[in-house]
């Protein structure tokens, strides 16, 4: 390997490390927001708003770790789609159980339905449109 190639390789490694460091800083920032909601003044906010915000941050953090640290963004997109499909199923299943067992506040039924099915619905639409159809022929 030539000196120039070595230098380029070294630069790409440094660049990659910086991507990881920046991701960790973003994750730390989101975690700080999450912990901030624990303070009493914020904790008095409407429960549906708190749960929705925390759930959103949770999903974003989940995808950041999976996408960058577990390099899902560099892998074949079918893996991202498989993970999203799993999340679409896990979200309503988990939260229906949480509502049934009384782990979450007893909200208005419309908010409950929106909370349960809107996020997986949006993700489901994205999945549906992201699959590229063939020419309709059988191979």
The span from the CA of 137 to the CA of 132, in Å, is: 14
Instruction: Tell me: does residue 84 bind another protein (CB under 8 A).
Output: no
Evaluate whether 54 touches 34 at the Cβ level (below 8 Å).
yes
For another protein, which residue of 4, 28, 109, 110 counts as binding (CB under 8 A)? 28
Applying the rule CB under 8 A, the residues between 114 and 133 that interact with another protein are none
How is 29-48 classified by DSSP, letter by letter? HHHHHHHHTTSHHHHTS-HH
* Distance in Å, CB of 51 to another protein, minimum: 6
Instruction: Tell me: does residue 10 bind another protein (CB under 8 A).
Output: yes
**C-beta closer to another protein: residue 21 or 89:** 21
Binding mask 88-117 for another protein (x = CB under 8 A): ----------x--x-xxx------------
Instruction: Give how many residues touch another protein by CB under 8 A.
Output: 34
């Amino acid at each position: 390997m030539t000196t120039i190639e070595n230098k380029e390789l070294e630069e790409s490694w440094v660049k990659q490390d910086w991507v990881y460091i920046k991701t960790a800083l973003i994750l730390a920032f989101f975690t700080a927001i999450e912990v901030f909601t624990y303070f009493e003044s914020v904790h008095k906010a409407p429960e549906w708003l708190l749960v929705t915000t925390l759930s959103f941050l949770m999903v974003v953090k989940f995808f950041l770790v999976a996408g960058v640290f577990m390099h899902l963004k560099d892998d074949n997109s079918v893996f991202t789609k498989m993970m999203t499909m799993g999340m679409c199923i896990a979200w309503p299943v988990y939260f229906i159980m949480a509502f049934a067992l009384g782990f979450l506040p007893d909200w208005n039924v419309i908010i409950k339905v929106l909370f349960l099915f809107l996020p997986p619905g949006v993700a489901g639409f994205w999945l549906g449109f992201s699959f590229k159809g063939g020419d309709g022929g059988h191979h």
